[in-house]
Chain A
Amino acid sequence: MATTPRPSTQRLWPRRGSLGGVAAVVGTLVILVVLWEGYKVLGKAAGGLVPFTEMRLRPPPDDRSMPHVWDIVSAMFEPARRRGEPLFTVLGSAALFTLREAFAGFVVGGLGGFGLGVWFVRSRLAERALLPYVVASQTVPILAIAPMVVIWGGRAGLPQWTAVAIIAAYLTFYPVTINTLRGLRSPAATATELMRSYAATDRQRLWKLQVPAALPYIFTALKISAAASVVGAIVGELPTGASDGLGRALLSYSQQFTAAPERLYATVVFCGLAGITFVAAVSLLERRLVNPGARQRIEAEAPGLMVAGAQA
């Protein structure tokens, strides 16, 4: 357990929070802006056509389809409606609304998944009877049918935010269950023998050995789930009748696209920020609770686990 095999070749991810990491992010943002504006300049010079053909360029390089970056930024500080609040406060409160829904479901799904994992590891019978159904539950593409779930919930008398939270919970519980189970089983056989040699109770073994060993696995799942629950919440806000949230904002500003394309772009930026905020909050908690050696070991053991989540 104490041996920490390290990834064999070059370090893939820059050390987080390091100066180099910050520089890389800023540099990347600058490059993206330059690419965006550069494409517009060159595209316009080519008359909006693919060079040497009569085909129209996609995306069209005009200011309506691709507003200038500075126009998008300044639109955030202009009123969203005539003499109303500035766009960024409108979008900020929509993002908070969406995050609250996602968070409620995330907490319920996370606790439920953890509980199921603990139950399964303590009872072979429960695992054999229920785990196949837990796995089978994922054949329902909940993200794809999120709007239907909300309509369904509405017909059954559930408020919209509850239905959306249920979607987030459904997205969270599966990865958390599976990774909790894996993590609780991860201690080496000798570590389990060690606890037995101390005449530790089952409860002590669970809390002193298994749960700490499972934490890095659980956080891997939580980060995936956090991202997925924001997606689930946004998609769940799409059906007509939904009152608030980023999903609503996306639809209403895409209807205003002809008049004010910057607003749609600003909304997309806020969607991204909402997701990053949620995942970053989970990562911060992880850094407080999981020791760096363990985190690295898990990532080396299970390459690709990070991306295997329900990201859409």
Chain B
Amino acid sequence: MTGWRRYLPPLLAFPAVIALWEVLVRAFGVESFVLARPSAIVSSFVANWRVIRSAGAATLIEAVGGLAVGVVLGVAAALAASRWAGVRRGLVPIATAASAMPIVAVAPIMNQWFTITSPVSKMMVVAVIVFFPVMINTVRGLSEVDPGQLELMQSLASPPRRILTGVRIPSAMPYFFSALKVASALALIGAIVAEYFGGPQDVLGQYIINRANLFAFPDAWAAILVASFIGIGLYLVVSAIERLVMPWHVSMRTGGPP
């Protein structure tokens, strides 16, 4: 059974579920703060489109900026770790600990360091969040190489640089991209959460919490919908880049590294 056929029934069921939701909420007179009607969410979306769009754009910039910084630093650290054992020994405990820690807690510190009003403070929170998964997965990809390929390169007396570019980096690519997909989702969530610690009001996080505080939940849901779309969009962009960079791998990958 192909993936498409498997997901067709639920996709078809989706409009039905939405319609049922609308009907039930109306029929039982459920108040909007308990369960917003889909139609109310859509009309809020239309009515507040300008505000939501600019908030979405501001948050997107924070997420993408932070993602870029975190990915560049993460890959640089991974390359250093694969080159020098000392760096690896230092980074591994940090990364292990970081995977258990709520990194968003550094948001108020970043607000002080990079000024609360600047999007850079949110970007830095995103960068720290993104850094670790990218770094860990890239280190794994660089080190877990097919030993046969390594032996082949060594038997050809290849210089270390050639082994890095010819074997290690290509074999790290799928690991890197799977981390990048995770990171793109984390970046958006991280940016929104960082916004809750204060700063400009014209961002998705502040919009959501302000409307929620007024119990205007349809407005909040409309903004959440935008956040979801941005998240899906980022994921698709990363997937498209992956397809461009390694066409040889995508076609045959079904259950590769997640």
- The answer to whether A139 has its CB under 8 Å from any CB of chain B is yes
Contact A311–B99 (Cβ < 8 Å): yes
Q: CB-CB contacts of B76-90 with A at 8 A, as 1s and 0s? A: 000000000000111
Contact B227–A251 (Cβ < 8 Å): no
Q: Which A residues are CB-close (under 8 A) to B109? A: 264-265, 268
Give bound CA distance, A8 to B232, whole Å. 35
Contact A254–B197 (Cβ < 8 Å): yes
Contact B113–A9 (Cβ < 8 Å): no
Q: CB-CB contacts of B91-116 with A at 8 A, as 1s and 0s? A: 01110110111111111110111100
Question: Which of B37-45, B174-182, B244-252 lies at the interface with chain A?
Answer: B174-182
Q: How many residues of B are counted as interface, with CB atoms below 8 angstroms from the partner's CB atoms?
A: 72
Q: Which A residues are CB-close (under 8 A) to B190? A: 312
- The answer to whether B205 has its CB under 8 Å from any CB of chain A is yes
- The answer to whether A25 has its CB under 8 Å from any CB of chain B is yes
Chain B residues 130 to 149 lying within 8 A of chain A, measured CB to CB, are 132-133, 136-137, 139-140, 143-147
Q: Which B residues are CB-close (under 8 A) to A33? A: none
Closest to B107 in A: A250
Chain A residues 146 to 198 lying within 8 A of chain B, measured CB to CB, are 146-148, 151-152, 155-156
Closest to A142 in B: B189
- The answer to whether A215 has its CB under 8 Å from any CB of chain B is no
- The answer to whether B60 has its CB under 8 Å from any CB of chain A is no
Q: Which A residues are CB-close (under 8 A) to B186? A: 310-312
Closest to B195 in A: A144
Give bound CA distance, A25 to B90, whole Å. 8
* Contact pick for A257, options B108, B179, B231, B258, CB 8 Å: B108
Contact A28–B33 (Cβ < 8 Å): no
Contact A307–B220 (Cβ < 8 Å): no
Question: Which of B46-54, B158-166, B211-219 lies at the interface with chain A?
Answer: B211-219
Give bound CA distance, A231 to B252, whole Å. 36
User: Do A246 and B136 contact each other (CB < 8 Å), given the known contacts A152-B217, A311-B99, A312-B129?
Assistant: no
Min C-beta distance of B217 to chain A, whole Å: 7
Contact A276–B175 (Cβ < 8 Å): no
Give bound CA distance, A59 to B109, whole Å. 10
- The answer to whether B196 has its CB under 8 Å from any CB of chain A is yes
Contact B228–A143 (Cβ < 8 Å): no
Q: Which B residues are CB-close (under 8 A) to A310? A: 186, 189
Q: Which B residues are CB-close (under 8 A) to A12? A: 88, 92, 139-140, 143-144
Contact B258–A132 (Cβ < 8 Å): no
Q: CB-CB contacts of A285-312 with B at 8 A, as 1s and 0s? A: 0000000000000000011111111111
Give bound CA distance, A189 to B208, whole Å. 50
Contact B99–A306 (Cβ < 8 Å): yes
* Contact pick for B104, options A24, A148, A235, CB 8 Å: A235
Q: CB-CB contacts of B181-197 with A at 8 A, as 1s and 0s? A: 01001101110110011
Closest to B191 in A: A144
User: Do A307 and B179 contact each other (CB < 8 Å), given the known contacts A144-B227, A152-B33, A235-B196?
Assistant: yes
Contact A58–B114 (Cβ < 8 Å): yes
Closest to B105 in A: A271
Q: CB-CB contacts of A262-275 with B at 8 A, as 1s and 0s? A: 00110110011011
Min C-beta distance of A28 to chain B, whole Å: 5
* Contact pick for B105, options A25, A65, A257, A267, CB 8 Å: A267
Contact A257–B112 (Cβ < 8 Å): yes
- The answer to whether A47 has its CB under 8 Å from any CB of chain B is no
Contact B140–A304 (Cβ < 8 Å): yes
User: Do A268 and B143 contact each other (CB < 8 Å), given the known contacts A25-B93, A144-B192?
Assistant: no
Q: CB-CB contacts of B205-238 with A at 8 A, as 1s and 0s? A: 1001100110101001000100110011000000
Q: CB-CB contacts of A1-25 with B at 8 A, as 1s and 0s? A: 0000001111011100000010011
- The answer to whether B200 has its CB under 8 Å from any CB of chain A is no
Contact B139–A312 (Cβ < 8 Å): no
User: Do A307 and B105 contact each other (CB < 8 Å), given the known contacts A139-B232, A144-B192, A156-B33?
Assistant: no
- The answer to whether A230 has its CB under 8 Å from any CB of chain B is yes
Residue from B90, B100, B132, B146 with most neighbouring chain A CB atoms (10 Å): B100
Closest to A302 in B: B258
Contact B102–A275 (Cβ < 8 Å): yes
Interface residues of A (CB under 8 A from B): 7-10, 12-14, 21, 24-25, 27-28, 31-32, 58-60, 65, 128, 132-133, 136, 139-141, 143-148, 151-152, 155-156, 223, 226-227, 230-231, 234-235, 238-240, 246, 250-251, 253-254, 257, 261, 264-265, 267-268, 271-272, 274-276, 278-280, 302-312
Give the top 6 A-B pairs by smallest Cβ distance, nearest first: A254-B108, A59-B113, A279-B100, A271-B105, A132-B10, A144-B192
**18 further interface pairs, Cβ-Cβ under 8 Å (given A146-B193, A307-B99):** A9-B145, A9-B147, A58-B114, A144-B189, A151-B212, A238-B196, A239-B213, A246-B105, A250-B107, A261-B112, A272-B105, A275-B101, A275-B102, A303-B140, A306-B136, A307-B137, A309-B99, A310-B189
29 contacts between A and B (CB under 8 A): A10-B143, A25-B93, A28-B89, A28-B94, A59-B112, A136-B10, A139-B232, A141-B231, A145-B224, A147-B212, A148-B217, A151-B213, A227-B99, A235-B104, A235-B193, A250-B108, A254-B197, A264-B109, A267-B105, A268-B106, A268-B109, A272-B101, A274-B102, A279-B99, A303-B137, A307-B99, A307-B179, A308-B178, A311-B99
